């Protein structure tokens, strides 16, 4: 089937190449007629056609797919007089060169803002936006994502200065502050999380196929969500830029560690990548059975031949009725991964002798699906946008552990308390997002923006199967007897959120170029979340001596746990459920003032008021914890930002603000979650954190796409929240306000520089950003015996991102881009140790990727990615009691991810 699909696509592409060989191209440079400077963002169109393109940072433009004939070229650029050039002849297979010199004009080209759309996927346009902005902001667009081989929003944000990523943990840390301190939005609307473990939706939900750009705002204004301390991360979905577009893509690849592996997957995921497991036996009226073993998935994993990764994508759209636009896109991806490693747990009194010491093997499959559409209606004097997005991700993993566990395998004391644990797990998450936005002008000086979003998120973990089998020697194991030794766990979280918002902006100056206005706005988040976790214990009835035994390399559990043996009384089926629900009614209003004084200074002052109401009702841990918790608070969040232009190429920005951080839902619910690395439960007594934020940034613009920036920041956090060890044999971790205050301060440096540009054909560009982040929290000595102070959880003191890019463009339309991309993260605290435990440390890691793309003509492009070339070991260690030079740390977990190879092709029609 795969070979047939490849053959069909090859002939289709060959046919399209032949068809499009009958077209030519137009290219050139747009400059200022007076000073000769290249103009970025000029819009070049061919009259009478739907063809056009914007100029890049060097003033260059190129229009492809032009049929033979004679054309008139129309050029528009803000603050310049429109220009037309007639009688431009295009010949098939050749490129016509049309250079344009633009005359400055005092008249504003209002119509250009309606008919011309700047392409905010490009690095140059985003760079220009950042230069014009009053506050310091950073962005990464689709063009840069492609150049660096980034596959999703999580990888995109991790390329920004001051941002780090912990492997195996969803989402990112910004300036040393993790998930609870950050906020994620899509096109300006907040998005619920699909996972009860996290505040924010997983950023890897958003694949690069649907991303126009990702903005990271580390400096805050009144118009932003007040529940933020690290960054507000906004994902902008793709939209149609030209008058029409159509593109398809295919890809394949492999993880080096999958090759030759003994690969197994759990039953319960279909071929398309959707979970097919149910959440346990039920009667017709929905009542759960304990005398009917009608589970529809196997307790035994299924051996699979390691398969190649694969993906397909498409996007397309068109302008219609002369001024309206639609755009659709979709993708489907499938990836296989394999890893081997160790995982351990130790006591505070005897760290050299772990009470848990496992080797493990993990096979997994990751599937994702995306379908999106947006409509843009242009009316006079406004625009109506409708965005609809469907996202689905699923992961199936089969994990086998073998080794010592002195608590779980006490019955195997004669065999070093060794045993085997089988864990079969599927996570299936879906998001439906719909947004309606209306913006326009009420007068020459009053603009409005009104919108609403309705989001529905479903996160499922259907039929997680865990079975524990103590060793009986001679390569055999025996079914564990007792509660929790064989368990089928199900969970489902659903959240529906309605998010209306509106704002009015009044210009304080009749001059549209004078950036002075006052804005008032309102937004709210009304949401309802339900979490349920029906859990089944499979308890062998005859005692340990009669429990079945198995060869370690051939453990078959389905012949043991089935309806016949349940009816015979060989085992018991025990069922209970954990539940909680969350009601959230958050309302915010703000006033924001921006005023420009003279030609250099711009001030922004704002005040935001938030009325927060969150109520959690819970019945968890088999009814041991029943109750509710309410957050009912009112917050005022002031902000003050400045921008001072020393000259055209040197800008200084400052920012001061106060924000707050709410505990996550699961952090204030005592529900216990059983994780691979240990167990976690919440703390209903957590307080809200208050954040004081200070920023100072200098930007030096070297050229239209080169710049140097230096950014210093300081954060003072009252009642900081962190994950801590409870110091018990169950390995439980919880959340505490670990101190009265914490600080995070640092400096970020970023440089983008062109190293070579030979005859506009050979270009070498380099980019580097480096961060030093100092965090500190003084700890309560009552609980934190080993540590009187610590860095914040997840805060890497040193972060380095660097890339080196080579670009070759030939007269025959051959375009080659190759990039080396490096990332370094220093040691960081994973979990703060308490009650005699030292900190858990995630050790430093360096990754290196190679990405190359080859455009063989105007339509066909090939891509090759080789990621994680160094394949370093990821290590989680517990700090020892040794010296600074020899800490005698104990490895708690270690594994490698493998080298990932991907080959793809895209075709533009």
CB 89 within 8 A of CB 96: yes
Nearest of 275, 273, 330 to residue 307 by alpha carbon: 273
* Contacts for 776 with CB less than 8 Å, ≥ 6 apart: 742, 743, 789, 790, 791, 792
Instruction: List, by residue range, all CATH 2.60.40.1120 domains of the chain.
Output: 1-116
**Pairing assessment for the beta strands 762-778 and 798-809 based on DSSP bridges:** antiparallel
Report the sign of the C-alpha dihedral through residues 122, 125, 131, 137, in that order.
negative
> How many alpha carbons fall within 13 Å on the CB side of residue 574?
14
CB 800 within 8 A of CB 824: yes
**Could you report how far apart the first and last alpha carbons of the chain are, in Å?**
25
Cis ω before 381 (30° cut-off from 0): yes
Q: How far apart are CA 402 and CA 475, in angstroms?
A: 11
**Pairing assessment for the beta strands 23-32 and 95-97 based on DSSP bridges:** parallel
pTM of the model: 0.83
Q: Using alpha carbons only, give the angle 493, 494, 496 rounded to the nearest 5 degrees.
A: 150
Three-state secondary structure call for residue 142: helix
CB 597 within 8 A of CB 514: no
Q: Which two tokens stand for residue 503?
A: 């704002």
Q: How far apart are CA 461 and CA 208, in angstroms?
A: 25
Q: How far apart are CA 538 and CA 467, in angstroms?
A: 9
Three-state secondary structure call for residue 230: coil
Burial class (CB in 10 A: 0-12, 13-18, 19+), 837: buried
Helices (H), 149-197: 153-157
Q: How many helices (H) and strands (E) does the chain have?
A: 6, 50
pLDDT value, residue 785: 55
Nearest of 522, 25, 49 to residue 242 by alpha carbon: 49
CA 116 to chain centre: 30
Reported as a single tens digit per residue, the pLDDT across 752-768 is: 998 887 766 788 999 99
Phi and psi torsions of 546, nearest 5°: -100, 0
Q: How far apart are CA 29 and CA 38, in angstroms?
A: 7
Q: How far apart are CA 763 and CA 583, in angstroms?
A: 55
- Looking up tokens 């250079």 gives 99
Beta-bridge partners for 96: 26
Fold of 1-116: Immunoglobulin-like (2.60.40)
DSSP class of 203: G
CB 870 within 8 A of CB 847: yes
Q: How far apart are CA 787 and CA 474, in angstroms?
A: 44
Query: Which parts of the chain sit beneath pLDDT 50?
Result: 1-21, 106-116
Cα distances from 470 to residues 410, 561, 696, in angstroms, run: 8, 17, 59
CB 764 within 8 A of CB 809: no
- Give per-residue burial for 368-404: e unless 16+ CB within 10 Å, then b: bbbbbbbbbbbeeebbbbebbbebbbbbbbbbbbbbb
Q: How far apart are CA 753 and CA 734, in angstroms?
A: 46
Q: How far apart are CA 561 and CA 294, in angstroms?
A: 11
Q: What is the DSSP string of 499-551?
A: EEEEEEEEESSS-TTS--EEEEEEEEEEEEEEEEEEEEEEEETT-GGGS-EEE
Cα distances from 637 to residues 179, 223, 634, 712, 721, in angstroms, run: 20, 10, 10, 21, 20
Beta-bridge partners for 342: 359, 894
CB 368 within 8 A of CB 273: yes
Q: How far apart are CA 175 and CA 774, in angstroms?
A: 9
Q: How far apart are CA 524 and CA 198, in angstroms?
A: 21
β-sheet with 672-674: strand ranges across: 672-674, 679-681, 732-737, 721-725
- SS3 sequence of 636-703: EEEEEEEEEEEECCEEEEEEEEEEEECCCHHHHCCCEEECCCCEEECCCCCCCEEEEEEEEEEEEEEE
* Contacts for 768 with CB less than 8 Å, ≥ 6 apart: 750, 751, 800, 801, 802, 803
pLDDT value, residue 113: 36
Q: How far apart are CA 221 and CA 607, in angstroms?
A: 8
Q: How far apart are CA 33 and CA 512, in angstroms?
A: 24
- Looking up tokens 């996007």 gives 315
Q: Which two tokens stand for residue 286?
A: 């929905």
CB 529 within 8 A of CB 579: no
């Amino acid at each position: 089937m795969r070979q047939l699909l490849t053959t069909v696509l090859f002939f289709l592409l060959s046919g399209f190449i032949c068809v499009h060989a009958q077209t030519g191209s137009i290219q050139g440079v747009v400059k200022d007629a007076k000073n000769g400077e290249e103009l970025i963002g000029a819009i070049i169109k061919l009259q009478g056609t739907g063809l056009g393109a914007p100029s890049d940072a060097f003033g260059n433009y190129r229009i492809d797919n032009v049929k033979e004939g004679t054309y008139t070229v129309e050029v528009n650029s803000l603050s310049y007089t429109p220009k037309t050039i007639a009688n431009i002849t295009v010949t098939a297979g050749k490129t016509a060169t049309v250079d344009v010199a633009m005359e400055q004009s005092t008249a504003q080209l209002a119509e250009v803002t309606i008919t011309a759309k700047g392409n905010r996927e490009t690095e140059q346009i985003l760079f220009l936006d950042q230069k014009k902005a009053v506050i310091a902001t950073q962005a990464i667009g689709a063009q840069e994502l492609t150049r660096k081989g980034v596959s999703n929003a999580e990888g995109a944000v991790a390329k920004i200065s001051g941002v780090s990523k912990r492997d195996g943990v969803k989402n990112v840390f910004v300036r040393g502050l993790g998930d609870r301190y950050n906020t994620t939005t899509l096109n300006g609307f907040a998005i619920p999380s699909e996972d009860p473990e996290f505040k924010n939706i997983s950023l890897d939900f958003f694949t690069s196929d649907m991303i126009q750009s990702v903005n990271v705002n580390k400096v805050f204004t009144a118009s932003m969500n007040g529940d933020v301390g690290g960054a507000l991360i906004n994902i902008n979905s793709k939209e149609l830029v030209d008058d029409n577009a159509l593109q398809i893509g295919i890809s394949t690849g492999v993880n080096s560690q999958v090759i030759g592996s003994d690969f197994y997957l759990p039953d319960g995921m279909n071929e398309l990548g959707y979970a097919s497991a149910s959440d346990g036996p039920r009667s017709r009226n929905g009542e759960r059975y304990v005398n009917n073993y009608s589970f529809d998935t196997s307790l035994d994993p299924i051996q699979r031949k390691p398969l190649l990764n694969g993906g397909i994508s498409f996007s397309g759209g068109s302008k219609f009725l002369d001024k309206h636009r639609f755009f659709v896109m979709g993708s489907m991806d499938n990836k296989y991964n394999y890893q081997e490693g160790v995982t351990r747990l130790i006591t505070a009194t005897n760290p050299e002798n772990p009470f848990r010491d496992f080797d493990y093997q993990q096979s997994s499959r990751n599937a994702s699906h995306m379908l999106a559409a947006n409509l843009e209606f242009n009316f006079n004097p406004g625009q109506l946008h409708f965005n609809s997005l469907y996202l689905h991700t699923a992961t199936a993993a089969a994990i086998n552990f073998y080794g010592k566990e002195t608590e779980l395998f006490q019955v195997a004391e004669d065999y070093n308390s060794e045993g085997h644990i089988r864990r079969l797990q599927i996570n299936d998450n879906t998001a439906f997002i719909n947004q309606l936005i209306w913006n326009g002008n009420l007068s020459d000086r009053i603009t409005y923006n009104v919108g609403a979003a309705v989001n529905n998120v479903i996160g499922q973990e259907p039929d997680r199967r865990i079975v524990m089998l103590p060793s009986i020697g001679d390569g055999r194991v025996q079914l564990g007897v007792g509660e929790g030794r064989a368990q089928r766990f199900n969970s489902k979280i659903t959240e529906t959120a309605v998010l209306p918002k509106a704002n009015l902006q009044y210009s304080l100056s009749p001059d549209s170029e004078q950036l002075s206005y006052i804005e008032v706005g309102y937004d709210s988040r009304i949401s309802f979340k339900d979490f349920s976790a029906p859990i089944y214990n499979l308890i062998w009835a005859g005692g340990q001596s009669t429990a079945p035994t198995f060869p370690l390399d051939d453990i078959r559990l389905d012949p043991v746990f089935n309806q016949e043996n349940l009816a015979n009384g060989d085992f018991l089926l025990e069922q209970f459920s954990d539940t909680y629900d969350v009601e959230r009614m958050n309302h915010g209003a703000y006033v924001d003032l921006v005023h420009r004084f003279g030609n250099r200074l711009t001030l922004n002052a704002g005040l935001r008021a938030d009325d927060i109401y969150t109520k959690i009702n819970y019945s968890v841990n088999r009814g041991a914890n029943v109750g509710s918790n309410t957050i009912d608070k009112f917050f005022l969040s002031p902000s003050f930002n400045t921008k001072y232009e020393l000259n055209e190429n040197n800008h200084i920005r400052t920012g001061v603000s106060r924000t707050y951080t709410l505990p996550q839902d699961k952090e204030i619910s005592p529900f216990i979650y059983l994780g691979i690395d240990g167990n976690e439960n919440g703390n209903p007594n957590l307080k809200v954190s208050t954040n004081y934020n200070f920023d100072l940034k200098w930007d030096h613009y070297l050229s239209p796409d080169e710049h140097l920036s230096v950014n210093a920041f300081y954060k003072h956090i009252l009642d900081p929240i962190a994950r801590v060890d409870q110091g018990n044999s169950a390995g439980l971790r919880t959340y505490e306000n670990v101190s009265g205050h914490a600080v995070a301060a640092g400096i970020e440096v970023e440089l983008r520089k062109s190293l070579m540009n030979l005859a506009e054909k050979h270009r070498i560009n380099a980019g580097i950003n480096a961060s030093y982040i100092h965090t500190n929290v003084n700890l309560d000595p009552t609980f934190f015996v080993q540590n009187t102070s610590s860095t914040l959880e997840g805060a890497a003191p040193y972060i380095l991102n660097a890339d080196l890019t080579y670009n070759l463009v030939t007269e025959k339309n051959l375009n080659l881009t190759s990039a080396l991309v490096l990332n370094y993260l220093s040691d960081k605290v994973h979990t703060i140790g308490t009650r005699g435990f030292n900190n858990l440390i995630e050790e430093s890691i360096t990754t290196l990727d190679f990405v190359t793309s080859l455009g063989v003509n105007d339509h066909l492009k090939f891509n090759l990615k080789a990621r994680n070339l160094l394949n370093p070991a990821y290590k989680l260690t517990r700090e020892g009691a040794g010296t600074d030079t020899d800490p005698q740390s104990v490895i708690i977990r270690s594994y490698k991810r493998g080298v990932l190879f991907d080959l793809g092709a895209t075709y533009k029609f």
